[in-house]
Structure 1
Amino acid sequence: MRTRAGSRRWSAAVGVAVLAATTGGALSPPAAAEGEAPSGQVEFPTHCLPPQEAGLPPADGPTTARITVDDPAPKVGDTVTVTYQVARTPAVNPLGAELPADALTPTGRILLGGAQSGEVTVVGAKRNDPVQAGAGLPAVTMTGTFTVTAPGMITLAPGSYTLHTGHLLDLDTACAVTGAPVSERLTATPLPRANLRSVALGTAYGKPGAEVKVTGVGFAPGAAVTVTGRAGAAETADRVEATADERGEVMAELPVTDRATTAVVAYEGAAWSAQEGSGPAAYTVIAATPSGTQKVTAVVEPGALSMTQAGASIALGAFPYGEGGAAPGRIGTVTVKDARGGPAGWSLIGKVTDFTGPGGVVIPGASLSWTPSCTAAPGSPSRCVAGSAGVVGPEGAVLASAPDAEPVGGTFTIDATVALTLPPYTPPGAYRAVLTLTFS
């Protein structure tokens, strides 16, 4: 699935450099001043029920939390990664002894509102310092994904969460949330023929062999649907077949036996694709740890597709009045970083307006041509393909691209020499145009 990363504009002038830059990317919020709460942090009452085996009373008190998203302006059909950070909880260590390090698995739910309703299941890795008996449980971070199904503003509010401790006994401390305020908002834009397929899980974790209730929506009515486990971009051995009903909904029970499974997806056709498959729903296989051993878990989190550019203008060479020819120049070096970890490639396309000069003289944008080059950094799994040399013009031309593949990713350096061809006796002065690079 391709994600629009924004666009930048640069102006070019014969003999004169003129800046005219815009950006379509989201601006990061200003950092919180010392002593202030981070942007989006909210506080709400919580009722935490310790496991019955602990013999402890319920814990009531405030939870301080924050929800963030990796894309505040997605399109319908995009998969958004959400993070639920609990900075403070009233829950306490349910053991009568010290809880060792990395024995706490958090799971939770985020409530969607506004243009899209529903819940997002989130799960966190085992990352905690030792907790003394009777002491409060530490801060936790949980992540998950959901597919945007409707345009407009979508609100995200903290929901209930469960703190699972897996030392000596498997114990769950369930924390119920009521009336939590909205912590994050995003605005989704419509996309023609958007992929609205998504899945939700009845639980976010379980032991090997546990059956997981999978609910899917947005599939073609009557379509054959494959529900399968996934580890990164690869499918695992967990698989079951289902059929979408007349409303495009799917209900399935997926036995999860492969310990490599970290998510569940569903798709139509012979294999998963961004056009006919759902986004992944996070799932964790909790295996019993034999005495005297430690299980080590590493999590590789997907990143973003981004673009930066050195410099903000293009200065073309000048030549004497009366002589026609090409004014040479070079665009600022563009660096593309693809850390999404998915199967979708990307493309970088340039368009240029007509050049205007003194007295309203117009030089057609088609007079500007370029010769692109593109280099992938060592170790990048994707190929970087430079666009063809030729006219840029108002219709646009490809500067560089990376094809869809499995897997994709890497860092790419993109350059291009440019030349503006002017006729003889072009009136003296500066001629300006805007070159727009669109990244998708």
Structure 2
Amino acid sequence: MNKRLLARAGALLGAAVLSAGLVVAVGAPAQAASLGDVTLSQTSGTVTDTPIFASATTAKCPTGYGENANLRIGRPGGPYSNLAVALGGGGYDQNPITINPNRSFSTAIGGAPAAGEWWIVVECYSLTEGRHVDEFRTSIQVTGNTWRVPVAEDTTTSLAVSPASPVSQGTEVTLTATVSPATATGTVEFRRGASSLGTATVSGGKAVLATTALPVGTFSLSAAFTPADATAYKPSASGATSFQVTAAAGAITAPVEIIADVAPGAFSLVVANPTASLTGGTVGGTAAGKLPAVTVTDLRGTNVGWDLTGQLEDFTLGANTIANSNLTWTPSAAKTSGSGAVTAGAAADLGDTRTLCSANSGASAGVFTCGADLNLTIPDNVPPGEYSATLTLTLA
């Protein structure tokens, strides 16, 4: 049975509002998503260490799925192999979980692991419903006989320019970027103001670009490092170096002022898919689904920040209700483009107005996507049927 989540978006007094109907339906389990991180007692080791690490900790399991918990390892998406004896006895949906593995990586999978990405997961189980469709997970990278949690190392980039300023137009100028640590590989983009002069590959901690194309004037030169492996190193940029180029001897110059009239761009909220459902719902159980991806565009030019919040009505079926606080969401957010940054809201029930995502003042310009995993706890004393509620998202 196909159930709909209908959405409409508009702009009112500088705020965008999205109203959506949420309908509980019974259907096939959703594809596994992340319930959160698995925090390991160490961030690296060898594949033969026994145990692989001392402990793994997660937040509590989803409500109703606290009968058992299991620590496993495998390629992204599975299949997974056990790293520990499964926890039993219940109560794992009441408090954070700690599991102590009892074997090595290679023992768990029956041989040496291949290089690349692997997942360490914690699964949660219900006595009646079995394994929860989603899982806690943390990615690790295997290289040779070692594994590590991919925590990127900080880098620094500095710029040297030769010859020293000022120079005559047409003089060859050499820009040398030094990247530390010297083991970092990648490319450096050299810039004149916001314009790119070109890129060069980092070798032995240095990247070099020579140019004779600098125009007459005084401007800023800078260098920006992009790592080849973003899981190993973080990007960095040099400070600005002021540089002057003078006209060649005998040249005649004339200034021309160029004026650009820049109008403000969009401030909007758009839902990507108007159809969604919560599936797997049974009396006394849970229903799960995803909020359709929402795109926030802030090209106003003010960079004043924004908040996208949600307010949910109670679910109703005739005179029967399920309280709005029974629905919880775990927000997610990502930047599509622009200079700003977006932050996902905290996981919470929707018994009150909650933040889906936000951008701070001074860093809110760009295009962003926000979404959420949804989980509805269904009381054991409500009649079965189709319950619906309206969720209103407000961007301001």
Shorter-chain TM-score range: 0.3 to 0.5
The alignment's TM-score, normalised by the length of structure 2, stands at 0.38
The alignment's TM-score, normalised by the length of structure 1, stands at 0.34
